[in-house]
Structure 1
Amino acid sequence: MFNNMGSGVFVNADCQSAFRQLSAGSLRYIIYKIEGKGVVIETAKSDDDIGVDTNDYENNSKEAYEAFIKDLKNRTDGYTDCRYAVFDFKFACNRPGAGTSKMDKIIFIQLCPDVASIKKKMFFIATVTQLL
């Protein structure tokens, strides 16, 4: 576990392990939450788990992103609770003179909606640097 002295919230070592799996292409997205005094993995999904083709560069990750957003919305009770998430965004990019290139970018999302409690938002804001 890694301690964030500013917030007193710990980041579980499993969080980093799952991120390495996402970076290697084994996972498509991870949703994290603060539980007690620690950041833990709420869910980690692969392309197979969400039923999308692993080679979805052509549709710019549309199906995978829609599944991710639906899952995030359900887990936050309609975006009323805080979460961290990472998503592996795959897309095709047309480059003049070079043709089409397949690209991957990992997107980090910090969800702290206005309707969440002040205490929870402060914990999430103070702890975010531990995940980055």
Structure 2
Amino acid sequence: MSRSGVAVADESLTAFNDLKLGKKYKFILFSLNDSKTEIIVESTSTDQDYDSFLEKLPENECKYAVYDFEYEIGGGEGKRSKIVFFTWSPDTAPVRAKMVYASSKDSLRRALNGVAADIQGTDFSEVAYDTVLEKVSRGAGSH
């Protein structure tokens, strides 16, 4: 497998740890810098509303994202929280961008310890709350 040679910026790891350990953010959007050499933090948010996260995903551009996904456990066990990694690669994004994001994903994904689920989104139905909830909660009993 060819390596894309894309580095993960220190700020990206710091932001991820702030989300994971410090619960400082609800979600983080990552993108490639202009020269496509580094994965950087594009934005962070403390907004608890999942729709606010979806609104940040552009229709024609690729992104990576990490979301601290909270959901209720059945049987009165209360809330559970899992970190979900998103690769957002809409069908309408330029082919070249999709290729670069696909080949660079592993660099970022490997650097982020503690991610519970991976979601690949090519359209909004694949990143809808219920779709993610099903994937995240399905894995809840197996770990």
Question: What TM-score, normalized to structure 1?
Answer: 0.73
2:28 counterpart residue number? 30
- The runs of at least 4 aligned residues of structure 1 exceeding 6 Å deviation read none
> When you count strand as a share of all residues, which structure comes out higher?
1
Q: 1:71, CA displacement in angstroms?
A: 2.0
Q: 1:101, CA displacement in angstroms?
A: 2.4
**Structure with bigger gyration radius:** 1
How far apart are the structure 2 equivalents of 1:113 and 1:91? 26
Q: 1:115, CA displacement in angstroms?
A: 1.7
Please give the root-mean-square deviation of Cα atoms over the aligned residues, in Å.
1.4
2:41 counterpart residue number? 41
Compare 81-90 and 116-125 and name the one that shifted more.
116-125
- Provide the aligned length of Structure 1 versus Structure 2: 105
SS at match of 1:81: coil
2:8 counterpart residue number? 11
Provide structure 1 residue ranges, at least 5 long, that are not aligned to the other structure: 53-63
1:36-82 CA-partner distances (Å, limit 9, x unpaired) = 22111000112xxx3x4xxxxxxxxxxx211111122xxx2xx1100
Provide structure 2 residue ranges, at least 5 long, that are not aligned to the other structure: 110-143
1:91 counterpart residue number? 71
Counterpart contact for 2:19–2:68, Cα < 8 Å: yes
Q: 1:10, CA displacement in angstroms?
A: 1.7
SS at match of 1:113: coil
State, as a whole percentage, how many aligned pairs show the same letter. 28
